[in-house]
Structure formats: structure tokens, C-alpha cells
Amino acid sequence: MANANTEHSKKLRAKTAKAHNKKQLEAGIVKRLGLVVPTETLTLFDEIANEAGLSRPKALQMLCEFYQKNNG
């Protein structure tokens, strides 16, 4: 894995990820979400994600599951 952090490797991984995401979008498996939220809200959200050790999408999923569990 000596070449894993070269510019070429980084670009190749980005290209592969872009193609994968495009296929997922076209198949209806995932959707894009663009939000404009107050800085305070996003800062809190990022703190929650970091404390849980999750990416933003996984943190959103966790919060949705928490909501369903406590309001279902």
C-alpha cells in the first residue's frame, strides 16, 4: 500500500467513488440532500456525529432511528 496516498491513487479512488454514487443514485438506492442550516445547528450535528464516531450520513440515520424508537 505504499502508493495508496499518491495523487494518482487519490484521483482513482475519487473517480471510483463518483461512479459508484452515480449508479446508486440512478438505481434509486440513495438520494442527495442539500441543506442550508444555521451554523450553530450544523456545529451541534457535527459534535453528535464525532462523539458517536459516525459520518454525517450515518449520524443522520442514527438520529432518525432514535426518533422512531422514541416516538413510534
Write out pLDDT tens, residues 24-48: 999 999 999 999 999 999 999 999 9
The verdict on 26 and 60 lying in the same domain is: no
pLDDT at 3: 73
How far is the CA of 64 from the CAs of 21, 24, 54, 61, in angstroms? 22, 21, 14, 5
Q: Which domain holds residue 3?
A: 1-30
Mean predicted confidence (pLDDT) in 55-64: 95
The verdict on 13 and 26 lying in the same domain is: yes
Q: Are 31 and 25 in contact (CB under 8 A)?
A: yes
Specify the amino acid at residue 57. Answer: P
Q: Which residue has the higher pLDDT, 68 or 2?
A: 68
The verdict on 68 and 38 lying in the same domain is: yes
**Cell of residue 61, nine digits:** 440515520
The verdict on 37 and 72 lying in the same domain is: yes
User: Other CB atoms closer than 10 Å to residue 59's CB: what's the count?
Assistant: 19
Give the chain's mean pLDDT: 93
